[in-house]
Chains A and B, each alone.
Chain A
Amino acid sequence: MIADQVRTIWCRELQRDDIALDDDFFALGGQSLIMARIQAAFIEELGVEVPADQMFLNPTVASIAAYIESMDAVAQ
């Protein structure tokens, strides 16, 4: 499940034990430095470059995971 992988990355970079699928990245204290680290982790661990604008538009684990799945669908 991509959502699980995304959640693991978010928890690590935001230094949280757990994050709900609909928690807001910015409300969790996310900012640009953390976002860049998450973007890098997506490239290295999931093999996708997610544009920063999409991360701003999809600030939850559920929505960004759905976006990444749609990217994969297009790629295939």
Chain B
Amino acid sequence: MILQGKRVALPPAPVVHRQFEKHAQATPDAVAVFCAGQRVTYAELDAKANRFAHFLAAGGRGRGAKVGVCLDYSIDMLVAILGTLKAGAAYVPLDPAYPAARLQLLLGQIPGLALIVASPATAGLVESAAVEIVDLEQLSGRLAELPETGPDIPVTGDDICYAVFTSGSTGTPKLTAVRHEGWFNLMNWLMLEYGLHSDSNNLVVSALGFDLSQRSLMTPLFCGATQYLMASRNFDAAMAYRMLTEHEIRTVHCASSTLYLLVDWETARRGEALTRLDYVLFGGEPLKVERVLDWARRPGNTCTLLHQYGVAECTDVATSYDLAEYRPGEHDIAPVGRPAYNTDIHLLDERLCGVGVGEYGEICISGTGVGAGYLGGTGPEAERFTTIEVDGAPRRLYRTGDRGCVDQAGDLVVFGRMDAQVKVRGMRIDPTDIERALGRLAGVREAAVVVADSGDSELVAFIVPEGDELAENDVRARLLETLPRNMVPARFINISLIPLSPHGKVDRAALVAMCRNQYA
């Protein structure tokens, strides 16, 4: 079973920052970024990014290098990102909301890390003897002496533009790399298919480490529109809603759970700002469609909800579905729709043979969006990138580990995972990553983590204590020092023994059943 995306030709050099530069030439005085009362035009942002690119290239941090970006949302963040791309390097977003211990673990996984851009507010989190840290503010004197025209470093569509951390299956996060061509194709598809243009102003509401945040950050600059950033390290519903009310914002990219928050916020206040948007592009976790349906059907609501599916390994989005087509009687689960341009979805069995119409298979992705793979180390995940033969020709393909089928209308529907990985609030999480962190805590002999559904999906940890039962608050507080908040379980349950399956693996189904009993 193959779902084919439309074939749309890309320019000979599908390089993301070239598209931004076109707008800087055509509409130099248009506002590119607005943040905390400050604004920068396309020409100004281009000049600042060019200077930073010269700085990187002169220091031998050009093509092929990796530049860490550990900044709060700000104009400087986009200077750092665009400058890195112009230098021919790839950026790695490092979310300053993460605990320092987690950021240090991630830093150790970035091969060829040349430099980290930080600010006085974030530098302490990423301090490292091995890597230089620069602050654009402090650097401004030196940057002012560099040319404001582009360094014109040759970059190809196959070069890496960014790399983000995704959950692996071995308990350590993996760094997955995206190519310019894939990212260009994604934003070109959004622009042409959905008619995004120079008024398609966007508000970023997601955390920096997400793959969707990279798209949210760059798409308006790709379309010549204005990017609105919130000077907030953490998601701030009140501030986000106020920004939507006060500014001409047309698009929001977010995880499904963030959409629920915004819809709830609007519903409680009888507001209209969200209904006036052109698009909310959302996904990343199973959609609870009842959380948005009443709002979506409000009279006068002109906002199109695009329910999307994809994986970081294949440039973030692979398919899209207009939720207006959803019929509660016909669908159990809201579909994720049809493929992006130059993208195919394959449903395969364990021998990598196609399954029939209506049958379940592993969702595999081929086409322009397939990324450059994992950087540094060849874990078992590397095998997820493989090659199959389609119509007699070899095709590079990524096996997502997600399970799905194609419905009668020809839309893809996703039904959970083939393995133990889980999705909670938009983030793919490997429970063994959390189990390892728990196992390192004093007093914990063994731990297992599962997802329970008590209305909202949440992580539940089962702990076998060394001695006395461990207090929930204490374990949670200690875990918060090493893990991002979205990976810290909502509940902790002391248990004397972790149940095992006949094969000797953790019996996750039994644990999920125990959660259900606890709620009952």
Residues of B within 8 A of A52 (CB): 232, 234-239
Give the nearest-CB partner of A26 in chain B. B480
The answer to whether B473 touches A51 (Cβ under 8 A) is: no
Given contacts A27-B476, A33-B261, contact A51 B236 (CB under 8 A): yes
Interface Cβ pair total, 8 Å cutoff: 68
Residues of B within 8 A of A50 (CB): 238
Residues of B within 8 A of A31 (CB): 485-486, 490
Residues of A within 8 A of B237 (CB): 36, 39-40, 52
User: Which interface residue of A23, A53, A55 has the most chain B CB atoms within 10 A?
Assistant: A53
The answer to whether A29 touches B238 (Cβ under 8 A) is: no
Q: Which residues of chain A (17-72) have a CB below 8 Å from chain B? A: 23-24, 26-29, 31-33, 36, 39-40, 43, 49-53, 55-56
A36 to B269, CA, bound (A): 14
* B454 smallest CB distance to A (angstroms): 12
Residues of A within 8 A of B488 (CB): 26
A55 to B232, CA, bound (A): 11
Residues of B within 8 A of A53 (CB): 232-234, 236
Residues of A within 8 A of B236 (CB): 39, 51-53
Residues of A within 8 A of B260 (CB): 33
Q: Is the interface of B mostly helix, strand, loop or mixed?
A: helix
Contact mask B447-488 → A, CB, 8 Å, 1/0? 000000000100000000000000011101100100001101
The answer to whether A32 touches B425 (Cβ under 8 A) is: yes
Given contacts A31-B485, A33-B261, A52-B235, contact A24 B477 (CB under 8 A): yes
A6 to B425, CA, bound (A): 27
A33 to B444, CA, bound (A): 28
Given contacts A28-B473, A39-B237, A56-B234, contact A33 B456 (CB under 8 A): yes
A47 to B395, CA, bound (A): 59
The answer to whether B265 touches A40 (Cβ under 8 A) is: yes
Residues of B within 8 A of A33 (CB): 257, 260-261, 456
A55 to B261, CA, bound (A): 17
Q: Which residues of A contact B (CB under 8 A)?
A: 23-24, 26-29, 31-33, 36, 39-40, 43, 49-53, 55-56
19 extra A-B contacts, CB within 8 A, seeds A32-B486, A49-B242, A51-B239: A23-B473, A26-B476, A26-B488, A27-B476, A27-B477, A27-B480, A29-B490, A31-B490, A32-B234, A32-B235, A33-B257, A36-B265, A39-B236, A51-B236, A51-B238, A52-B234, A55-B234, A56-B97, A56-B233
Q: Which residues of B contact A (CB under 8 A)?
A: 97, 232-239, 242, 257, 260-261, 264-265, 268, 425, 456, 472-474, 476-477, 480, 485-486, 488, 490-491
4 smallest CB-CB distances across A and B, nearest first, come from A52-B236, A36-B237, A27-B477, A27-B473
